[in-house]
Amino acid sequence: MTEGGTSEFPLEGELQPPMANGEVLFEEPWQGRIFAMTILLHQDGLFSWQEFQDELIEVIGRWDAVNDETRQYEYYEHFSVALKTLLNKKDLVASGELSRRIDEYASRPHGHDH
Partner 1 sequence: MSSSEASVRAEALESLLIDKGLIESDQIDQTISLYNERVGPMNGARVVAKAWKSTEYRQRLLEDGSKAIEEFGFIGGQIDKLVVVENTASVHNVVVCTLCSCYPWAVLGLPPRWYKDPAYRSRIVREPRKVLEEMGTVVSGDKLIRVWDSSAEIRYMVLPELPLEWSGLPESDLAERVSRDSMIGVEILAAPEDA
Residues within the interface to partner 1 (CB under 8 A):
1-2, 5, 7-10, 12-14, 16, 19-20, 22-23, 25-26, 28-37, 39-41, 44, 46, 49-50, 53, 56-57, 60-61, 64, 73-77, 80, 83-84, 87, 92-93, 97-98, 101-102, 104-106, 112-114
Measured between alpha carbons, how far is 103 from 36 in angstroms, rounded to an integer?
23
For partner 1, the closer CB: 1 or 109: 1
- The nearest distance, CB 93 to partner 1, in angstroms, is 5
Taking the CA atoms of 41, 64, 73 and 88 in sequence, report the sign of the dihedral they define.
negative
- The nearest distance, CB 36 to partner 1, in angstroms, is 4
For partner 1, the closer CB: 29 or 109: 29
- The nearest distance, CB 109 to partner 1, in angstroms, is 13
For partner 1, the closer CB: 33 or 89: 33
